[in-house]
Structures are given as C-alpha cells and as structure tokens.
Chain A
Amino acid sequence: MSFANPWGLLGLMAVPAILILHLYYRRFPPLLIGGLHLWGVQTQVREAGRRRERLPITASLLLELLAAAVLSLVLAQPRWAESRRVEHVIVVLDNSASMQARPPGPKSFREETVEEIVRRFQRLPSGSVATLIVTGRRPELLTEPAVPLAKAQAALDGWNPQAVAHDFEPAWDLAAQLSESSGRIVFLTNHLPPKSAPTPKTMEIVSLGQALENTAITAARWTFDPKANKGRVFLRIANLGKNPTDVQVRGRHGEQELFLKTLSLQPGADALLETDVRGGLGELTVDTHSPGDGLEVDNHVTLIEPKVRTVTIAISLPADHAAVRPVQRALAGISETQFGSPGDAQLLIGESAKLPPSQTGLTWLGIGPIDGSEAARKQSKDLVGPYLLEKRHPLLDGVVLGGVVFGGVQPVAVAGKPLEATPLVSAGKQLLLSRLTGTQTAAYLLNLDFARSNLAESPDWPILVKNLVELCRDALPGLKRWNYRLNEEITFRPNAGDRGSDPLTLVFGSKTVPLARGSIVEIPPLQQAGIYEVREGDRSLGRFAVNFHDPVESNLSTLGPGVRDAVSEPPALSYRLDDPFSWLIAAGIAVILVALLADWFVLDRQARARRVLP
C-alpha cells in the first residue's frame, strides 16, 4: 500500500492530542454522594498539581480516535497500487505517405499497422493506457497523453499518413520524454531505420512494410503565355520500382480529357512529359496509372493555371544618359512587363540624383553618376574590384561581377548630405550598389557612370535587371505562385487597399484556418495535398494547389518487414494508475461522520445525565 498524499498522515498527530485531552483535560462532573467506600476505591482528597491517572477508555475517546485515524487515512489517500498496476505504451506511428501504400491484398500498411496496435492493446492488462504520436517535422499527439486504450483505438480511425519524407528523431525524442523511463515505446513503420539511427534504447521497432513497385509524378509545373493564350504543362514521371513498366498519363479538366499518353519506363528511370493546353482552363488534373502501382497519393496532381503578373516599368532617365540603352536592352528580354508613365509604374528607373517619393509598392533604381557636375566626375573613382556582394539578397542572385569595372564611383550623398543606405555591393568603404533606408519605396542606388563602366557589357547586367523586375513582381499583390509541394512555405500579399475588417482565412475542403493579416501573409507549411483558397470574409483572394511530390517517399523498393527489440527494458514497465478509490474515500468519510455523530450522541447523553443525576 502507498499513499498519494503522505502528508495526510500528519493527521495522526491528532491521536496523541486526543489522548492528552482525555487524560489531563477531562472534566468529570462532580456528584455528591454518601458512602464513597461503597464504590470500592481508595478515597482521595484533591490536591493541587497534576496526578498521573489511568486513561479512561470511554466511548467518546474511542470514537474520536477512530474519527482521527480514518480522517488521516482519507487525507493520505491510500493506494493499493499492486492490484492496480497498468502499462503505459507509447506508440510512435510513421506518418509518411508510404504508410498508405497497398501491397497485393486487401490491406494497406496503415491498416495492418492499426491491426497490430489493436492486437498489442488486447494483450495489455486491463486499465492500461496508451499515447499515440505521429511522426513529422513537428511530431504530434493523436490524443492527449496516456488515454485509455479504447480512446486511443478510436483515435486511430482519424490517422491519415500523408507526410513527405522526414526524420523520425523528433517523434522518438518526444516518446522518450513522455515515457519518463517507465513506459514501453513501440515504433510502427514500414521500413526499419538504419542501426546507426539514434533510436531510444527502450523502443521496440516493428516494420510491417514490404518492397513494392511504384510509379510517381515527381514534379509538375504549369506555365502560361498570355500573348499566345496558351499554357504548357511539364510533368516528370518516374518508375521507382525494380521492373519496367508502362505508365498511362491522363490530363483532364473536370471530366474533359485534355491529353492521354503512355510512357514506357525502365526501373529507376524517369521521363519528362510536356504538353500544351489552352488558356483559361483554370484548373486541371493529371492521373497516372501503371500495373502493380503501390502508392496512390503520388499518382495524382491537381494544378492551378498561373495568373499573369505584369510589371509596369517607367524609365525617367534623360535620353542622353549612358544607361538608357543598356536598360532598354536588358528589359527587352523579360516577359510579362510593360512600359508606363512614372505615376503608374511599379518599377521606376531614373537618375540617382533624383530620389523617388516614399511610396509603398514602388521599386526604384537610381543610376549614377550621383553628381553630374564636371568637378564631381573628375573626383570620381574607377574600381576594378574586388567587390563584396551581399549574396543572400535576391537582387544579387546569380550576380558575380567578375571583370566588371565600376567607373565614376562617387560618395553616396546628395547635395553634400550622406544618404542612409544598406550596402549590397561594396569595394572597401565605397558603396557601389545599395538599398536606401528611411523610405517606404524599395529604392536601390547603382553608384557608377555607365560611360566609364563595362557593366552593361557583362553577363551580370541582364541578370541584375531581371532580378530587379522579379523583386518588383514579387511585391505585387496576390500569390507569387499557384502550385506548391507539401511542406513548402507559401506567402500571400494582400492588396494595399485590402484592409477590411473581415478575417483572412484559408479554406481546404470543409476546414477553415484563420490567417494572421499583415503586409505579407505567411501560410504555414501544408501537410495535405489538394486545392486551397485564401478568403477575406466570403471574398476569394486566390486559389492554389498543393501536391505530393517526393521521390524519396514514393520509392517503395526499400520497404521491408522486420522487428528490432528494445536494447534495454525500461526500469519499470508499468506505472501506477492514480485511481482515486472514490468508494474508499466515501466510506472513510461515512465512518468519520458516524463516529462524530456517535461521539456527539455519547456526549449529549452524558450532558443529559448530568442534568438528571444528583
């Protein structure tokens, strides 16, 4: 027996207190009599001071002692844990999409795993509890920890493994943490992890998988040419099995078939399928079918037709500016752009001496020389490197500046006042390309004189301009892309004027998830493939598709059965269930009440006797 609250035993200190009260502080009412000798005791005369007297064993004393003892027991909450020992099993479920693979036969790996769990639950002692953990980049609990087996079993019905390939260590760590060295951990998967994997020593690994043939769509893309009003779908189909197979690829818009092709693929080979589709479809679905295919989730792709995001560009350079022709030449090769007036432009390219207004949504590129005076030109420098590039900035993506001469470099100042800027390209302390701060405009300043520089002739120039246009395009409202993979980060930029009070939500099927409003709305990595929609209230702001593309997870040839026992047994394979024994507490309280009532009855009877007796 143990006690859930051993401090309650301090209540037993009431026992000596009651004894002392009855021994030294009893108040026997006096009774005047004649013939004390007839009571068979030695008469005594009261004297001052204490005397040792025999403790009177009265009914009141016994009842009070009983009440104190039972009260202490109730407070201490005794536990007869030996008869209530139960096991706590922590089940770690491989949440990979490959668990949905279906070998020849009626059951998928997931279904076999569920049956294995149920069989194990049936072997556990009555009253045992279980904790279900699903693996993932962030492992999750299917239910709260240590729930009854029936509840855990019911929770398995909602287990739908669909994750891409991921590490299991976070889930194992969580299981080890929850086990607290007393629970049994079982990891159910479809392939044994390598022995070098850092598995918990108390974890048993059970694999119910087997190698399967599988073909998968490992990549899908849809581009759109607004000029031709024509789209193009790119698909990569891979044979991840060990036998050659023929794959039938069928594209459809709703029930309307768009294309149907058959590919012959050798083991381990893949094929790129490109096909044109007409514009305005909005959405299309691609299905593949091959004999003996093991996994269904990678045979389907749903794509959303890309939207046209045209960038309006204005060039405010003087006609005789040395940068005009290089700029025009670089912009000519960039699609989905148009020229407009400076007031309507999203990208404004002008002289560096004329700073742009502070305006959200405007991108500005100022090109030197900063000071066009002859004196300033004479004082300017020509630099040949080396250059320090801020490679992480998207504007410099792919830019190397090898052999580029930055000529006519001047101090970054206007009217003698230095400009606050963040360097992107610098040479020593000299800023060559920088982003101006203190303005809402995305303002970049190119500190060179094209008349004295070979940048326009280098391959870095069109790349730099292209990056600048794409930066500007990314700043346009709406989605950047419309087709994503699982677990991919997705951002959404609302219109600058969209500051309504309606909440932003992400809708997927019948599920609705609230989104935090901001200048850029970040949508958390999504775990389920399908069509999602961003809404503001009831108004749709954009739809996008998320598809399962994971060659690693689609490769079922490495699956196989196996069991790996725990390296060491946990110190205690079971733990004590904190059974409150409410019936015992109720009985104890009843005994206390009865004892107190009886004590009251006895004392009351004495009081009445005192009134009656002489």
Chain B
Amino acid sequence: MKSVRHDPEVQQALAAYRLASPRLPVAGSSGELLGRGTGSSLEFQEYREYLPGDDIRHVDWSAYARSDSLMVRLYREEISPRTEILLDASRSMTTGGDAKPRVARQLAAMFALLSARVGGRPSVVLLDDARPSRLLSLEALDNLAALPFSGTATLEELIADNVVPLKRQAVRIVVSDFLFPHDPDALVRRLSREAGALWLVQLLNEWEADPSPSEGRRLIDVETQGSVDLLLDRKTIAAYRERLGRVQEGLRRSCRAAHGRFVTLVADRGLPSLCRNDLTQAGLLVPAA
C-alpha cells in the first residue's frame, strides 16, 4: 500500500504551499504562529495605557514624551499551535470512485505535514464508528492509506456524543462531504467551540457537486441503505442543486459567524488543482515563496 506521506502530489503540495495564518490569533505554546494574546514577538499589535505589572521594556517613551501619559507597546504572541484534522471516515467518502477517498487522505496528510512544518503538533482524528475516535499522530500518517472509510455515524452524531477528542485552542480542520442531515449553525458552533481556528473543507466527487440529468436510477445511501428510484431529470437535478447549495451556504454563513473558513472541493480535479485554485483562493494555503 502506498504511503500517503510520500504521495508525490502531497510532496509537491508541501513544496509549493504553506498553511495560511488563521484570521484570529490562536492560543498555543511559543512557536512560529502568532497567538491571539499579546506576547513577546516582534510584531507590533497595539498600544494601551500602562498598568502596574507591565513589562517596563515595552513602555513607549516617545509616546510618553508626546502625550505625557505612559503607554506600553503590545506585541503579538508567537505560539506553536495544536492542529486537529478531523477526517470524515464514513462510507459516503467512498462514493464516486476512488478520487474522493484518495484526495481525502491526501488532504489530511498535507494539512498535517504543513502544520508540522510550522510546529503545529498536528493530529488526524478519524471520524468513523470507533468510540472514542482514533487519533493518528504525525508518525502514524501512513496508516491513512489503509483507512477503510466504513463509518456510518455522522460527524454531528459523533460530536454530540463527545467521542471526538477536541483540544482547546487547536486549529481545527474538518475534511468531510457534509452530506449528512445537520443543522449548520449547531454543527459549526460545536466544532468552533474552544477552537483556535476552524476550517471546514467539504470534499465532494464530481457527480455530487454537479450532477447531470439522466434516466432513472436507484439512489442508495451508502450509510443509511435507504433507497429510492428516481428519474434524474432536469427538475430533480435542479432541486438537488438547490438543496446542496442551501447546505453549503448554511455552512459558509455559520463559519463566517465563527470566524472560520469554508471551502468546497471537487475531488476529481486532483490535489494539485485543488491546492492551486480552491484552497489558495479560500485562504487556507499560501504559496511557499
């Protein structure tokens, strides 16, 4: 079985991109990322009046001379954040051929490795039926290759059951198709709780993202085994698109409220294309140099 860590496309992405900084400062130990608190980094954040106990090294004497009041310089804290990559390992991630699970593995590995590069202490949380959810450390990333994507529980159920070990102040990257019935506000609220940052990556296959009209098909939900015979005519397709759009818009709106980011990826386009276009445009990745 091929190693995800040494996947050429992952390696290519690692060479070409780095993780973008979260919009809001996140907490964590001293590191390469800027925390949301003030610290001792060289990056100036703001002024405030001096309070007893402040480091007098940060008093801005020039400002005191101009304004006759003691002002201290506050500098952005530099942290080394925890990164949690929540990978949806349910059966729905296997639909549409092998592109969707393959890209899911690549994304999880890429985010973990990019995070590790900046000292982010990444871990991959496998969201399958295991309770509590299993964690893959950076060293165990290659186990992703054997991930069967056989879960039937939804992310919402797992979060509600508190089987997902979520760490405080962690940068939380969720890779899922989000094709399970859910309330976007509630889901995002739970995921963003005590998170340093929240990125939602919706991974769909080409047909899920853009189905085309065709004749009758028996649609079988791989997780619930529910089925229905449907004529996939233009009207039905349009209704599906509308509902999918509502889901995506709900997640996007909820993420915005939680200062998170939401992006939809089509797995069939391949990781290089997704990095170059979708992830970069969404502000999750930035070119390395």
**Chain B interface residue count: which class?**
35 or more
Which of B4-12, B88-96, B274-282 is the interface stretch? B88-96
Given contacts A35-B179, A36-B226, contact A28 B240 (CB under 8 A): no
B180 interface residue (CB < 8 Å to A): yes
Tell me the B178-230 residues at the A interface (CB within 8 Å): 179-181, 205, 207-208, 214-230
A158 interface residue (CB < 8 Å to B): no
B239 interface residue (CB < 8 Å to A): yes
A35 close to B92 (CB less than 8 A): yes
A582 interface residue (CB < 8 Å to B): no
A614 close to B97 (CB less than 8 A): yes
Given contacts A30-B218, A45-B227, contact A39 B236 (CB under 8 A): yes
B231 interface residue (CB < 8 Å to A): yes
Tell me the A41-58 residues at the B interface (CB within 8 Å): 41-46, 53, 56, 58
B244 interface residue (CB < 8 Å to A): yes
Given contacts A33-B222, A45-B226, A46-B227, contact A56 B216 (CB under 8 A): yes
What separation, in Å, do the CA atoms of A28 and B231 have in the docked complex? 9
B220 close to A28 (CB less than 8 A): no
A43 close to B215 (CB less than 8 A): no
Contacts of B97 in A (CB 8 A): 614
Contacts of B166 in A (CB 8 A): none
A2 interface residue (CB < 8 Å to B): no
B177 interface residue (CB < 8 Å to A): yes
Tell me the B217-268 residues at the A interface (CB within 8 Å): 217-231, 236, 239-240, 243-244, 247
Total contacts A to B, CB within 8 angstroms? 109
Q: Which of A26, A36, A44, A614 has the most CB of B within 10 A?
A: A36
B224 close to A43 (CB less than 8 A): yes
Contacts of A44 in B (CB 8 A): 226-228
8 Å CB contact of A38 from B95, B217, B240: B240
8 Å CB contact of A34 from B95, B218, B231, B236: B95
What's the nearest-Cβ distance from chain A to residue B151, in Å?
A: 12
Taking CB as reference atom, which chain B residue is nearest A40? B239
8 Å CB contact of A31 from B177, B220, B224, B239: B220
What separation, in Å, do the CA atoms of A614 and B229 have in the docked complex? 16
What separation, in Å, do the CA atoms of A38 and B243 have in the docked complex? 6
What separation, in Å, do the CA atoms of A42 and B221 have in the docked complex? 12
A613 close to B214 (CB less than 8 A): yes
Given contacts A26-B216, A614-B205, contact A43 B221 (CB under 8 A): yes
B214 close to A34 (CB less than 8 A): no
B217 close to A32 (CB less than 8 A): no
A454 interface residue (CB < 8 Å to B): no
Taking CB as reference atom, which chain B residue is nearest A43? B226
What's the nearest-Cβ distance from chain B to residue A24, in Å?
A: 12
Contacts of A34 in B (CB 8 A): 90-93, 95, 177, 179-180, 208, 221-223
A609 interface residue (CB < 8 Å to B): yes
8 Å CB contact of B229 from A32, A45, A53, A59: A53
What separation, in Å, do the CA atoms of A433 and B236 have in the docked complex? 115
B215 close to A609 (CB less than 8 A): yes
What separation, in Å, do the CA atoms of A33 and B225 have in the docked complex? 10
Tell me the A73-97 residues at the B interface (CB within 8 Å): none
Interface of B is mostly: mixed
A29 interface residue (CB < 8 Å to B): yes
Contacts of B228 in A (CB 8 A): 36, 39, 41-44
Contacts of B96 in A (CB 8 A): 614
Contacts of B93 in A (CB 8 A): 34
What separation, in Å, do the CA atoms of A46 and B227 have in the docked complex? 7
Given contacts A29-B217, A58-B215, A609-B214, contact A38 B225 (CB under 8 A): no
Taking CB as reference atom, which chain B residue is nearest A22? B216
A465 interface residue (CB < 8 Å to B): no
B225 close to A35 (CB less than 8 A): no
Given contacts A34-B177, A58-B231, contact A45 B225 (CB under 8 A): yes
A33 close to B221 (CB less than 8 A): yes
8 Å CB contact of A40 from B207, B215, B221, B243: B243
Taking CB as reference atom, which chain B residue is nearest A42? B228
A602 close to B217 (CB less than 8 A): no
A60 interface residue (CB < 8 Å to B): yes
Contacts of A338 in B (CB 8 A): none
A37 interface residue (CB < 8 Å to B): yes
Contacts of B247 in A (CB 8 A): 38
A31 close to B91 (CB less than 8 A): no
Contacts of A33 in B (CB 8 A): 92, 95, 208, 219-222
B181 close to A37 (CB less than 8 A): yes
A512 interface residue (CB < 8 Å to B): no
What separation, in Å, do the CA atoms of A35 and B176 have in the docked complex? 12
What's the nearest-Cβ distance from chain B to residue A34, in Å?
A: 3
Given contacts A28-B229, A614-B97, A614-B205, contact A35 B218 (CB under 8 A): no
Taking CB as reference atom, which chain B residue is nearest A36? B221
Contacts of A31 in B (CB 8 A): 217-220
Contacts of A614 in B (CB 8 A): 95-97, 205, 207
Contacts of A53 in B (CB 8 A): 229
Contacts of B208 in A (CB 8 A): 33-35
B240 close to A32 (CB less than 8 A): no
A557 interface residue (CB < 8 Å to B): no
What separation, in Å, do the CA atoms of A26 and B239 have in the docked complex? 24
What separation, in Å, do the CA atoms of A331 and B215 have in the docked complex? 114
A606 interface residue (CB < 8 Å to B): yes
Contacts of A28 in B (CB 8 A): 216-218, 229-230
What separation, in Å, do the CA atoms of A34 and B225 have in the docked complex? 10
Contacts of B179 in A (CB 8 A): 34-35, 38
Given contacts A44-B227, A53-B229, A614-B207, contact A36 B95 (CB under 8 A): no
What separation, in Å, do the CA atoms of A60 and B215 have in the docked complex? 9
Taking CB as reference atom, which chain A residue is nearest B92? A34
A35 close to B220 (CB less than 8 A): no
A58 close to B220 (CB less than 8 A): no
What's the nearest-Cβ distance from chain A to residue B206, in Å?
A: 9
Contacts of A29 in B (CB 8 A): 217-218
What separation, in Å, do the CA atoms of A32 and B228 have in the docked complex? 11
Contacts of B215 in A (CB 8 A): 58-60, 602, 605-606, 609
Taking CB as reference atom, which chain A residue is nearest B178? A35
Q: Which of A34, A44, A602 has the most CB of B within 10 A?
A: A34
Contacts of B220 in A (CB 8 A): 30-33, 36
Contacts of B177 in A (CB 8 A): 34-35
What's the nearest-Cβ distance from chain B to residue A57, in Å?
A: 8
Taking CB as reference atom, which chain B residue is nearest A53? B229
Tell me the A2-35 residues at the B interface (CB within 8 Å): 26, 28-35
Contacts of B244 in A (CB 8 A): 35, 38
B227 close to A43 (CB less than 8 A): yes
Taking CB as reference atom, which chain B residue is nearest A41? B228
What's the nearest-Cβ distance from chain A to residue B239, in Å?
A: 5
The 17 listed contacts between A and B (C-beta, < 8 Å) are A30-B227, A31-B219, A34-B91, A34-B222, A35-B208, A35-B244, A36-B224, A36-B226, A39-B219, A39-B243, A40-B239, A41-B228, A44-B226, A45-B225, A56-B229, A56-B231, A606-B215
Other CB < 8 Å A-B pairs besides A30-B218, A40-B239, 9 of them? A28-B230, A33-B219, A33-B220, A33-B222, A35-B92, A39-B230, A41-B230, A43-B228, A606-B215
* Across the A-B interface, the 7 shortest Cβ-Cβ residue pairs: A34-B92, A43-B226, A35-B179, A36-B221, A34-B179, A28-B218, A606-B215
